[in-house]
Structure 1
Amino acid sequence: MSDVHAHPALAHHFDSLEEQKEAATLGMWVFLVTEVLFFGGLFATYAIYRTWYPDAFAAASHELDVTLGTINTAVLITSSLTMALAVHAAQLGQRAKIMVFLALTMALGGVFLGIKSVEYYHKFAEHLIPGPGFQFEKEHIRHAQIFFSLYFVMTGLHALHMIIGFGIMLVMLWWTWRGTITAEYYSPIEISGLYWHFVDIVWIFLFPLLYLIGRHAH
């Protein structure tokens, strides 16, 4: 039980920091499995509807801005790199670098959400928000609403997960600043990295699914 006195981050019900890290990592992986099942259900729903209404979904997909989607993909991939660098800095106990890379990750996430908000605004201006005011080609209007309903649900939930990630990183910044994160105890940064990489991977699937697949069929 010497670790109890060696590091204040050790919870009383663990015998060592290593045991605490293993439990926390397992907990995060279990959580991520539930998230995979959740998003997997949404992906499956989208795939089924796309199979049923390929022409309408291709026409609706054509209304998405591939350029902005591509930029956002590059931004998120870069944020995964900065998050990995934050984890590496934490392993080395480099407090200043941890804070810089976490801040960069948050900044890139902010850029992503900013671009996504521009996309949402364009859809609002073009009357592509599902509901009474929805406007689209008459032959596809009903099924195109299904596409955009799924688009807003999936991208909106993804954005919500990113906002939660911001909150996690703010906590990590605070813990790093006050000295809780050290070369001996960096698992919170590592686990936060797992979450952020998962959020990025979800977008890697969303981007081709919504923006690219079947786009040229219309």
Structure 2
Amino acid sequence: MTTTLHTEAHAADAHDGASMTTLGFWIYLMSDCLIFAVLFATFGVLVGNVADGPAGKELFELPYVLTETVLLLLSSFTFGAAMLSARTGGTRALQAWLAVTFVLGLAFIGMEVHEFAALVQRGAGPDTSAFLSAYFTLVGTHGLHVTCGLLWLVVMMHQISRFGLDAVAERRLACLSLFWHFLDLIWICVFTFVYLREFL
């Protein structure tokens, strides 16, 4: 009887811990929303302040950015496939989908770094105008988040390969899934508000 009560209490504590983790992560995402909201608002105010520097239409290559967008959206799809594999207990399929997600995310970051380097080389760095300062800050902050997501992916792949897909790994994977899809949503806003508007 005592053992049963102890087991039930332990299960209840674990459930409460999982609930608190999920709630805490949602609070973190909401704080991240506020950060990006401020960055978008700042960009909106400064977008016309190009000083003597170039405007976005002279700098941005829409097909290039569209390729970046497709890569990130594809990574969202592959992460969804990974989560489906996790629910069915397919560890090998889960690891494969996570690896594909990592490659797509890494390609996105590589393209973004290349874009930043090309802009700086053309004399359109963050110190050129208020517009470019706001642009580099907004897009760079998103890129930094994606980089953190990639590191988190590597950690999760290592954890699953070493310890298996236990309840803790599933919870962490679910939080990472929320984070990754959140970044995709933010990028859609970046693509529309920063890049696409320049060509409409």
> TM-score when scaled to structure 1?
0.79
Q: 1:13 to 1:148 in 2, by over 3 A?
A: farther
Unaligned 5+ segments in structure 1 are: 6-11, 135-144
Alignment partner, residue 96 of structure 1: 92
- Provide the aligned C-alpha RMSD in A: 2.5
> TM-score when scaled to structure 2?
0.86
| d(CA) in 2 for partners of 1:148, 1:213 | 15
Alignment partner, residue 176 of structure 2: 192
Alignment partner, residue 41 of structure 1: 38
Candidates 28, 47, 56, aligned match of 1:61: 56
| d(CA) in 1 for partners of 2:90, 2:163 | 11
SS of match in other structure, 1:213: helix
% identical aligned pairs: 28
Q: 1:155 to 1:185 in 2, by over 3 A?
A: closer
Q: 1:184 to 1:206 in 2, by over 3 A?
A: closer
Contact 1:130 1:149 in 2 (8 A): yes
Q: State the Cα distance separating 1:215 from its structure 2 match.
A: 3.2
Q: How does 1:10-159 map to 2 (within 5 A)?
A: 15=12, 17-50=14-47, 53=48, 60-62=55-57, 63-131=59-127, 134=128, 145-159=129-143
Of the structure 1 ranges 70-79 and 207-216, higher mean CA displacement relative to structure 2 is found in 207-216
SS of match in other structure, 1:129: coil
Unaligned 5+ segments in structure 2 are: none
Contact 1:72 1:112 in 2 (8 A): yes
Q: State the Cα distance separating 1:121 from its structure 2 match.
A: 2.0
Contact 1:17 1:185 in 2 (8 A): no
Contact 1:72 1:115 in 2 (8 A): yes
| d(CA) in 1 for partners of 2:155, 2:74 | 21
Please give the per-residue CA displacement for 1:182-201, whole angstroms capped at 9, x wherever unaligned. Answer: 47962211111001111111
SS of match in other structure, 1:127: coil
Runs of 4+ in 1 over 4 A off after TM superposition: none
Aligned residues between the structures: 193
Please give the per-residue CA displacement for 1:68-97, whole angstroms capped at 9, x wherever unaligned. Answer: 110011100000011111111111111111
| d(CA) in 2 for partners of 1:32, 1:77 | 19
Q: 1:61 to 1:85 in 2, by over 3 A?
A: same
Q: State the Cα distance separating 1:208 from its structure 2 match.
A: 1.4
Q: State the Cα distance separating 1:33 from its structure 2 match.
A: 0.1
Please give the per-residue CA displacement for 1:115-146, whole angstroms capped at 9, x wherever unaligned. Answer: 11221121122111133xx4xxxxxxxxxx11
Q: 1:165 to 1:89 in 2, by over 3 A?
A: same
Residue identity matched to 2:42: T
Of the structure 1 ranges 203-212 and 69-78, higher mean CA displacement relative to structure 2 is found in 203-212
- The answer to which structure has the higher helix fraction is 2
